[in-house]
Structure 1
Amino acid sequence: MNWLRALFFPFKAMLLAKVCVRLRDKPMGNSPSGIDILLLALAWGNLGYAAGLSYLRHVGGHVIRSKGAVLECGSGATTLLVGALTRDRGRQFIVLEHNKTWYDYLRKILDYLEFSHITLLYTPLVDYDGYRWYLIPQGLVVNKISLVICDGPPSSNPGGRYGLLPTMMEHLGEKCVILMDDTHRRAEQHIIDAWTECRCLKANRIGRFGTHAEVVFC
């Protein structure tokens, strides 16, 4: 954690705690409002890299409507959103993060928020067959996943986010929904096209400029 991040950590953690209580205490079945999402984004900061407001709200709605385990590839504001909405709901939430510095920082935030229900894993990127993907710990018990927030690995990684399907297919439920950000980029569009070679699926690009997408199996 660099000195500036450490300096502002207490203030940021306090703001995030207030927003997460607001999200956690929403009545069962109620999706986060636009105000909820805006407050989360402002408390989180890091706006140049954080997920957009439209995408965050879309993620929140899917968390409320889904019932099974949730997998997140990459971590950030969406981690706190999903964490707040799944707390005390008996749902498994697994987060894969390859950046050790960022993992340590987020681990500190989750500990402060007492989000012990989140399984945050440090998973370095390793070579698979023609792509790089997270090193999944042996013996990890994963329930059938109903929702994936696929925001990593970064596009600079060979294969980008492609590794999700070939490595995690057996853990994805038949009605699993995969949410992706930045689908206005050609690299992400190519990944979705490549996934069709692993499994019959349909992708629906949403957002004003098709900046995010939901992918479902046929």
Structure 2
Amino acid sequence: MTKMQRLRTVMPRTRTGRAIAGLIIGAIVVAASALAYELFGGIALAVAIGAIGALLVIVAARVEVQARRVLAKQDVQTLKQLRRIQQDGQAVQHELGRLRATLVESELAVLEAQAGVSEMRGTVATKADLQFHYAQVQAAINLFGQFEVGASVPQMRGWAASPDVLLRLVDLVRARQPRLILECGSGVSTFWLAMAARKYSPGSKVIALESSEKYALRTEALIEAHGLGAFAEVRRAPLEEWDGVGTWYSRDALRGVSDIDLLFVDGPPESTGPLARRPAMRVLHDLLSSDAVIIMDDMKRPDEQATVASWQREFGPLIESEFDVEKGASLLTRASEG
């Protein structure tokens, strides 16, 4: 315990308390003086005791004054410390506020950077899309530039074949002049194959197998509108079960079909079931000519990739050439053809 703490303990807590203490001390001194006078009968002794009492009162007063000064100084120092603590607290609060503001600014900067990256990615994707769409437009212009098309032509892409793969089919007809072209599925591809046959290979015939009556009628109307009946035929081919093969086009649709020089596999639809196109080679393998070429469309889909892999295991060796087209396509030839 420090001197000041001891002093605070001894000294009365209030001004009234300290005044009462002084009066008590004075009374004790006066009483002591009276008692001394009665006992000793001497005025001198009483005076001495009175002087001592007075001295004690003076000393007590001095102590009180000194204590008040010390306490006042301590109070001032405590107040200064409290003010410093308050100022330091305000400084800390200010610094925390500044740090929070900096953090918010940093978070905003990160968000802006992320948005910028996303925008850049979107821009890159947009440029890639534009280049890709331009390639399709260019292929379509090339197609229409080769033929005199007197009537309207259905939209290409989407469910229909894309211009880039159709251009490859036309090139194959011109280069190979196949006698029989068999198409699994019908539509705008049937039209362009027939157009290529009429211009580049008049001895060619296109047979399209179609499981949907609606699409069969549409394709027939398209063929008739362009006067291509001598080069293309749409056969109704509802899907049915083949023993040991799976679900595929009906047997009746294949009557008279042999020596297929060009096989374009673009059906049955994916909705038919898993590996819907796998039966094509199992059914048609023995109906292919010795130098036949097979085109598998939609090679970007896993089912078509698995189908071609199974064909190579079952009927290989087959040489595969990939077409860099919208939906992916592969050209398969027998190894002996090289």
Q: TM-score, normalised on structure 1?
A: 0.76
Deviation at 1:210, TM superposition (A): 7.4
Which residue identity does 1:133 align to in structure 2? W
Q: Helix, strand or coil: the match of 1:116?
A: coil
Partners in 2 of 1:216 and 1:153 — Cα distance? 22
Which 4+ runs in 1 deviate beyond 6 A?
none
Deviation at 1:217, TM superposition (A): 1.5
In structure 2, the CA distance between the partners of 1:95 and 1:208, relative to structure 1 (3 Å rule), is closer
- Aligned partner of 1:50 in structure 2 is 160
Q: Helix, strand or coil: the match of 1:115?
A: coil
Deviations 1:68-100 (CA, angstroms, capped at 9, x unpaired): 211111012111101111127022221101111
User: How many residues align structurally?
Assistant: 186
- Identity, % of aligned pairs? 23
Partners in 1 of 2:267 and 2:254 — Cα distance? 22
Map residues 24-39 of structure 1 onto 2, 5 A cutoff.
Answer: 35-37=141-143
- Aligned partner of 2:251 in structure 1 is 136
Partners in 1 of 2:298 and 2:185 — Cα distance? 14
Give the gaps of 5 or more residues in structure 2.
Answer: 1-138
Conservation of the 8 A alpha-carbon contact between 1:38 and 1:53: no
Conservation of the 8 A alpha-carbon contact between 2:236 and 2:253: no
- Aligned partner of 1:148 in structure 2 is 263
In structure 2, the CA distance between the partners of 1:52 and 1:209, relative to structure 1 (3 Å rule), is closer
In structure 2, the CA distance between the partners of 1:93 and 1:49, relative to structure 1 (3 Å rule), is same
Q: Helix, strand or coil: the match of 2:333?
A: strand
- Aligned partner of 1:187 in structure 2 is 303
Q: Helix, strand or coil: the match of 1:142?
A: coil
In structure 2, the CA distance between the partners of 1:79 and 1:190, relative to structure 1 (3 Å rule), is same
Partners in 1 of 2:235 and 2:157 — Cα distance? 24
Q: Helix, strand or coil: the match of 1:160?
A: coil
Deviation at 1:183, TM superposition (A): 0.3
Which residue identity does 1:203 align to in structure 2? E
Partners in 2 of 1:46 and 1:180 — Cα distance? 17
Conservation of the 8 A alpha-carbon contact between 1:165 and 1:198: no
2:282 to 166, 169, 190: 166
Which residue identity does 2:287 align to in structure 1? H
Partners in 2 of 1:138 and 1:44 — Cα distance? 25
Q: Helix, strand or coil: the match of 2:170?
A: helix
Are 2:218 and 1:112 equivalent residues in the alignment?
Answer: no
Between structure 1 and structure 2, the one with the greater Rg is 2
Larger relative strand fraction: 1
Moved more, 43-52 or 189-198: 43-52
Are 2:211 and 1:98 equivalent residues in the alignment?
Answer: yes
Deviation at 1:207, TM superposition (A): 0.5
Conservation of the 8 A alpha-carbon contact between 1:97 and 1:121: yes
- Aligned partner of 1:20 in structure 2 is none
Larger relative helix fraction: 2
Which residue identity does 1:186 align to in structure 2? P
Give the gaps of 5 or more residues in structure 1.
Answer: 1-32
Compute the RMSD of aligned alpha carbons. 2.5
Partners in 2 of 1:139 and 1:47 — Cα distance? 28
Which residue identity does 2:186 align to in structure 1? S
Partners in 1 of 2:166 and 2:198 — Cα distance? 17
2:180 to 69, 74, 85: 69
Partners in 2 of 1:124 and 1:194 — Cα distance? 24
Partners in 2 of 1:112 and 1:187 — Cα distance? 35
Partners in 2 of 1:139 and 1:124 — Cα distance? 12
